[in-house]
Structure 1
Amino acid sequence: MLWLKYEAISGNHTNIDNLVQMGIDNGCQAFIVTPNSVIDFMDGFENVRFTSKNRYHSMHVVALPTTIDKTNQYINDILNCGTVQDIPNILIISHSTGQYNVNNNKIKFGDSSYDLITSQFVGQYNTSEPRLLDTFDIASGTLIENANLFPDKFSNLQGRLLRIALFNYKPYTIWMEVTPGTGNMDALDSEQEKTIFIDGTESRLIMAFCKLYNCTLAVLIDEESEWGVLSDNMTGNGVLGAIVERRADVGIAGLFLWFHEFLFLDYSSIISRSGVTCICPKPKLLGRWLLPLRPFTPTMWAADFISFVSLFLTIFLIKLTKSYANSMCENDIISVWLHVWAIYLEQSTNFSTRHLPVIIISIISLLTSLLLANTYGAGLSSIMTIPLYEAPIDTPQQLAEKNWAWGATRDVWIYSISNATEPELKKLVSMFQASTFEKLSARRTSGDFCYSVERLQFGHYAVGDYIDEKALNYLQLMNTDIYYENIVRFACFACDRKRNPKILGIADSGQSNKPEDTFGHFHIKTTR
């Protein structure tokens, strides 16, 4: 047990955050708080729950009783605190007032008894209302009903509202507005019912969860901000901003394990794996006027030139040293030059000599030139038969060397590699460009821009709507991923801990493959 002493002083909350974080970091999963510090504790827990070393989804809090005259206000203050929604296992000890029922039986107790109260938590409305669990009679030292003081509130949520933040991002989340009453989902803060139809790999999982645990779903849609951005002051927009500002309970839409966002939100268990790669412009056909040079690489051409000059100088120096120095003339130099050219071009020559070294060197050069000529001829034949293209972009290194920009509608595509230390990844981060839908659509045929896409777990691809099937005639998929990540859900709702075992069960069974086959945006072939 760790005893944290805190003296509550009006307007002074400098110590409580550090004390609560100290307790959590030291493994505390249960806290007993006094009446004068319970609200400060709740606020402190909310401030440090994401920055602590440990995160526990089964925190237990016991609030000790206050004076009899402040009991009702004391209970209401605790249950109206927003943090209570993240701590369902809260127990409030208060003096018996006689206004609560135990199992629908009105029981009147004296001053020598205490009510044991928790939050309602379940139900579509009034989730912060007090719920009497039992009453402790001091005289007998027993509980009247002998009830479980920390009941499982998740086995049946009794229609509790679960708000989902999403946008249209195939195949994870798909939504459309339909005639009222014909959809499968309510829009948040809408008076009309069933006006939204949602589907997709992650949407099906969340709907299955609510069917299993009896909760009611409502969707919050933000197509303009998509994933959104979080600020350090706990504000933001899009899916992420809706969760951190508590406008939504769960966010879905292909969310990755981002470190910065982890400092403000809770993750679910891993749903699936996803790789991030690019669709780049197809290689262009090389100019035909350079075809005679294509059979050999620049290095091979340089080696041929060096060998040609070396052969010429060797024969020339041999003839020069054989006592011909006085009689060497310009015609002799030209004859040696033409002799070497004839050898390399496999042509006849009338060059004659009686010097054995020159004869040996000429024979070796003739055999070498025969091998080179055959190699060149074979290479030229293949080039004339099969068109020759520029080198494709198949790896992150090639993309970085090409120095082409790549991008999408949001910077979330580089969150996972923003702190990478590898040189090519650092360069790719600097090359990324977030742009509007219209600008991205206009660059599909520019020939110098790549688009980021997701390579899903079972072979399909999540592609932005700015790339249609017609655009794929000009684009080609990279063979390797830039990086890979794990797909999760972000949440601030405590019942996410209940969903994790179900997520793992579905992942283990391979059932995620079927909805991906149904909603996979493209099945792109990597063959040329």
Structure 2
Amino acid sequence: MNNPLNLCTDGLIISMWLFVIGSSTTSQANVLFDNKHTILLGSLEKSVITQYFHKDKCIVLIVEDDTWTTNKELEHYYSLLSLILVSSIDICRDPYLVESIVSAIDSGCYSYILRVAEPKCVLKSWGESQLSYNVHTFQRVSPKMFATISNHQKDGSKIVDEFYSLPEAELSSNIVVAVFGNESLEWPVTIYTNNFYEPMSSADREPKVFLDRWNELNGFELQADLYADKILDLQGKELKVAVVDLLPYAELRRFIGQEAQILKHFCAHRNCTIKGITDEWFWGEIFENGSGNGLLGMVFDGRADFGIAGVYGWASVFRHTEFSASYLHSGVTLLVPKPVKVGGWLIPIFPFSSEMWLAYILSVIVAGISMHIITMATIKYTRFAEVVLKRGMFLTAVDTAFRALGLSVLQQPSTPLVPHTPIRHLFTAFEILYLVFCTVYAAELASYLTAPQYSKPIDSLEDLADSGMIWLGEHYGWVYSLLDVDTPSILKIVDHFKVVTFEEMDKLAGTGMYGLIVEQLAGGHFSERQYLSEKIIAQSHIMAEYLYDSPVITIMRKCSPYREHYNELIGRLLENGLLLFWEAEAARVYMSSWLQTALKSAIKVNMEDEARALTLSDCLGMFLLLAFGLFTSSVVFIVELWIIRQKNNTKD
């Protein structure tokens, strides 16, 4: 016979982690069952495992004694299973029990055989391992448990009631308890399951539901299905749904919308009822102390079974809640101010980009320096020194600067340059360069003068970050999808987000100075935003690039027993197209069709681009340049007269 602690038995890998906590104490009841009960226990456990646990990846066996090894038949049977053993002298005081359960869960083991005096301690530890804020495991499956209780030490019925009355018991429909030592000698074991249908808060709730009786000779008396799928018929159970009003997803008061229809459909098929709940915190938050508010907080702490409100796949939330299968796709962008017509005084600047203006200015500087250096070299090293000095061009810094500036706009010197000199050849080369500059500038200027010019639209994340525009939302939930992104542009955008009330948003939206959130669903419809009006949409356009986009999900309590059936329903709804139909129906029946049309038209930036007659404002920039030149020359002339007068007074 193979030892059950061997890692390999009959070609099967047996995962067995032995956590033995503490040492033997006094003659406290370390052995919970006498030999007769041990034999019965082994036979019952074998029967249950064979019938209901045989397809499970592995089983977690949690015991408070070592009597399981005294039954050689059971020992051999367990050696054929993939098993994780958690053994402790006192399971309720075991400081490592939570850690042991987390290790088992991370190994993919979700089925439990409990042979302990107080099974409620195991269920509490399982709840802490899955539901607390600080203990994280990404595996989340509703547990399947089989516990055995003896009536010899304590009222077994009371133990069962305490076990099934724990809040954690609501997260599993598959908790079965076998009570040994009832009044019937023919049927010494009574089988119960948890009352999954009535809420814990119900005053007259009976925690346990009788399933069957068992003896070693005949097996189960009623041949009941111990692990029947209770989700198939919830018997009118009330499911609490946290809702944030956001059509076409959902609205609480009438319980309408796309996601509300999913839950209505679920309860129509599974015989349950819906109670919508909300608070004033919108999507809310989950705090490190284990509390929470809003939709996320209500689902996390068990006040709600489901949460719907266009929830995206937020990574930080996934640690503490359950995500349904995703359905369709939505994206969040901004309604930003339209590009405005640029004033005529800027038109002279438009033909060149900033890089071209920089190249142009550098070429003027290089031209001036080059002409001055070549002139000095010509005077020093060539036979043209006398005639070059007589012409007096490019000899001083001021003269060189003004002549280089004139050359850049194709202004010819007042007197011809000396023929055949290096300065003449260099001047001709620069003339060709500036001929190209001026031709390109004139061509671009003509196009800017014939059509209205607008400021650059905000159409991308980089544009939004560079603009420094503040964007508004009623809750930080609008930036949850951006919090884990560390690119510089996204960090700037998050810093520019401002939370305001709807009343403040109504006032600020009309100023045309802020970005306003709009969300587009898979069917092309936009979610309802109460601050949007004809005036605001008319002066705005929708940013072409999404701030972020994501599949939409329903959130549930971690390890929710409804997840599998709910995901099956979502798959069927996606196949037959009902989700898109419900989106369109909600937008058509409950939302403003005018608003939907206006937002769709705002996707495109409408700007006039037809040729038009010149106006005085188009020439404003040129007139300003002329005025600047006249003013500067007048000031310089007056200063020169004053300097000359001061010199004359000094001489006198």
How far did 1:313 drift?
5.8
**d(CA) in 1 for partners of 2:176 and 2:572?**
32
**d(CA) in 1 for partners of 2:308 and 2:408?**
72
SS of 2:242's equivalent in the other structure is strand
Q: Which residue of 2 aligns with 1:279?
A: 335
Q: Which residue of 1 aligns with 2:355?
A: 299
Instruction: State whether structure 2 residue 120 is matched by structure 1 residue 46.
Output: no
Q: Which residue of 2 aligns with 1:333?
A: 393
1:400 to 451, 462, 465: 465
Q: Which residue of 1 aligns with 2:90?
A: 8
Counterpart residue type for residue 263 of structure 1: R
List per-residue Cα deviations over 1:178-206 (Å, max 9, x = no partner).
xxxxxxxxxxxxxxxxxxx2211111111
Q: Identify the range of structure 1 (343-352 vs 276-285) with the bigger mean alpha-carbon deviation.
A: 343-352
Listed as ranges, the gaps of 5+ residues in structure 1 are 99-108, 177-196
1:18 to 91, 96, 99: 99
Q: Conserved in 1, the CA contact under 8 Å of 2:117 and 2:149?
A: no
Counterpart residue type for residue 273 of structure 2: T
Instruction: State whether structure 2 residue 346 is matched by structure 1 residue 290.
Output: yes
Q: Which residue of 2 aligns with 1:498?
A: 565
1:85 to 161, 167, 170: 170
Q: Which residue of 2 aligns with 1:180?
A: none
Q: Conserved in 1, the CA contact under 8 Å of 2:86 and 2:100?
A: yes
1:152 to 214, 229, 253: 229
How far did 1:252 drift?
0.5
Distance 1:465 1:96, change over 3 A: farther
**d(CA) in 2 for partners of 1:246 and 1:339?**
79
How is 1:32-431 mapped onto 2 (pairs within 5 angstroms)? Answer: 32-50=113-131, 51-67=135-151, 70-95=155-180, 109-110=184-185, 112-122=187-197, 129-138=207-216, 140-176=217-253, 197-222=254-279, 224-308=280-364, 310-311=366-367, 317=374, 320=379, 322-329=382-389, 332-333=392-393, 341=406, 344-345=409-410, 351=416, 353-355=418-420, 364-431=429-496
Q: Identify the range of structure 1 (115-124 vs 287-296) with the bigger mean alpha-carbon deviation.
A: 115-124
How far did 1:439 drift?
1.9
Distance 1:351 1:517, change over 3 A: farther
Q: What is the number of equivalent residue pairs in this alignment?
A: 495
Q: Which residue of 2 aligns with 1:189?
A: none
SS of 2:530's equivalent in the other structure is coil
Q: Identify the range of structure 1 (368-377 vs 341-350) with the bigger mean alpha-carbon deviation.
A: 341-350
Q: Identify the range of structure 1 (386-395 vs 341-350) with the bigger mean alpha-carbon deviation.
A: 341-350
Q: Conserved in 2, the CA contact under 8 Å of 1:339 and 1:349?
A: no
Q: Conserved in 2, the CA contact under 8 Å of 1:16 and 1:40?
A: no
Q: Conserved in 2, the CA contact under 8 Å of 1:346 and 1:366?
A: no
Q: Conserved in 1, the CA contact under 8 Å of 2:283 and 2:294?
A: yes
List per-residue Cα deviations over 1:72-93 (Å, max 9, x = no partner).
2122112211111111101111
Give TM-score, length-normalised by structure 2: 0.69
1:432 to 478, 497, 503: 497
Counterpart residue type for residue 150 of structure 1: Y
List per-residue Cα deviations over 1:54-85 (Å, max 9, x = no partner).
53434211110221661221221122111111
SS of 1:4's equivalent in the other structure is strand
Identity %: 23
SS of 1:2's equivalent in the other structure is strand
SS of 1:479's equivalent in the other structure is coil
List per-residue Cα deviations over 1:360-414 (Å, max 9, x = no partner).
6565555544443332222122212222222222222222222222231111122
**d(CA) in 2 for partners of 1:311 and 1:245?**
75
Q: Conserved in 1, the CA contact under 8 Å of 2:173 and 2:229?
A: no
Q: Conserved in 2, the CA contact under 8 Å of 1:268 and 1:490?
A: yes
Distance 1:67 1:96, change over 3 A: closer
List per-residue Cα deviations over 1:148-181 (Å, max 9, x = no partner).
21101111212111111102112211244xxxxx
Distance 1:326 1:86, change over 3 A: same
**d(CA) in 1 for partners of 2:407 and 2:481?**
62
**d(CA) in 2 for partners of 1:422 and 1:484?**
16
Structure of greater Rg: 2
Q: Which residue of 2 aligns with 1:29?
A: 110
**d(CA) in 1 for partners of 2:156 and 2:404?**
114
SS of 2:335's equivalent in the other structure is strand
Listed as ranges, the gaps of 5+ residues in structure 2 are 1-82, 606-652
Q: Conserved in 2, the CA contact under 8 Å of 1:162 and 1:218?
A: yes
Q: Identify the range of structure 1 (208-217 vs 435-444) with the bigger mean alpha-carbon deviation.
A: 435-444
Q: Identify the range of structure 1 (334-343 vs 448-457) with the bigger mean alpha-carbon deviation.
A: 334-343
List per-residue Cα deviations over 1:262-283 (Å, max 9, x = no partner).
2322221112322232222223
Q: Conserved in 2, the CA contact under 8 Å of 1:342 and 1:349?
A: no
How far did 1:255 drift?
1.2
Give TM-score, length-normalised by structure 1: 0.84
Counterpart residue type for residue 162 of structure 1: L
SS of 2:286's equivalent in the other structure is coil
Distance 1:111 1:78, change over 3 A: farther
**d(CA) in 1 for partners of 2:517 and 2:323?**
24
SS of 1:3's equivalent in the other structure is strand
SS of 2:267's equivalent in the other structure is helix
